[in-house]
Amino acid sequence: MPTDAPRLPAIALDVLRHALPLVPFYLLHGNIPSYLLLTAFDLSLGLMLIVGTTRDARDPTTVDPRAAWLISRLTAVLVLAVFLGLVAAVLTIPLGIPAYIFGSATGVNWRSLVLRPGFWIPAVLMMFATGARAQHSFESVTTVGERGTSAHAASVVGDLARDRRHSKAAYAAQVTLIATYAALSYGLSIFGRRGFFIFPALYAALLVFYDVRPDIGQKIFPKLWRETQATESRKAVPSGQRAKRPNIR
């Protein structure tokens, strides 16, 4: 993920988002379908966060001083939470297929499950944690300017090319976590009560680890990274300076 800003607030928000599905599961006698659906929503929010915080050269580097007001920042978190949450809810439909399969096999009443406070309260809190995380990322790469100042008056914070590489690693890690989520669902269906208290906590720890070290995705998807680095290298070299291949017939 981008930035040279302090990582502690970002990591704390990520940990909060990953821990929330465990609260009803362990403390409120939650069930496996509810946990799996909340976890699928968590993974969808993670995807949206990566997409939303990946920087581009056209992104603003300077903000109006009124954007630094507390009410403005809270409003931004609210808007981001709602937007990211709605899109993530759509993504949860295909990602949550393991939860639907497991729930259908056990006769879960989905309407009753979704309306339980033990389900929708953690989901709403996860949305706000994601909104706060996105706002923190935006604030860490922008500078507060004067009123009427151009949105690109300040210099770019950090290294855009490096940030894109970090985002690529985070995306690769997220793809791996989604695949692992399918394995987790299968494991819970096979081991039942024996894996009931172990697998969810281990998976949450894995989610936190990948957020702290997204570069692990580089090692898991080396081909994806080689193609990305080669593309960036070609873009960095002016077309007139690129070596021409000899025309051998």
pLDDT at 161: 77
Q: Tell how far CA 184 is from the center of its chain.
A: 19
How many C-beta neighbours within 10 Å does residue 68 have?
Answer: 12
pLDDT digits (tens, 9 = 90+) for 34-52: 888 999 999 999 999 988 8
pLDDT band, very low/low/confident/very high, at 3 (cuts 50, 70, 90): very low
- DSSP annotation of 66 reads G
**Number of domains making up the chain:** 1
pLDDT at 6: 57
**2 in any annotated domain:** no
How many C-beta neighbours within 10 Å does residue 234 have?
Answer: 10
pLDDT digits (tens, 9 = 90+) for 105-159: 777 888 888 888 989 999 999 999 999 999 998 888 887 777 767 766 667 776 6
63 φ, ψ to 5°? -125, 155
- Rounded to an integer, what distance in angstroms lies between the CA atom of residue 144 and that of residue 142? 7
236: pLDDT strictly greater than 50: no
pLDDT at 4: 41
Higher pLDDT, 130 or 217: 130
The residue segments making up the domain with residue 97 are 8-236
132: Cβ–Cβ under 8 A, 6 or more apart, which residues? 13, 77, 81
Sign of CA dihedral 32, 88, 56, 133: negative
**153 in any annotated domain:** yes
**3 in any annotated domain:** no
**77 in any annotated domain:** yes
- Rounded to an integer, what distance in angstroms lies between the CA atom of residue 239 and that of residue 235? 8
**1 in any annotated domain:** no
Q: Which of 104-118, 161-175, 192-206, 231-245 has the highest mean pLDDT?
A: 104-118
List of E strands, the chain: 62-63, 143-144
**66 in any annotated domain:** yes
**247 in any annotated domain:** no
**108 in any annotated domain:** yes
155 φ, ψ to 5°? -75, 160
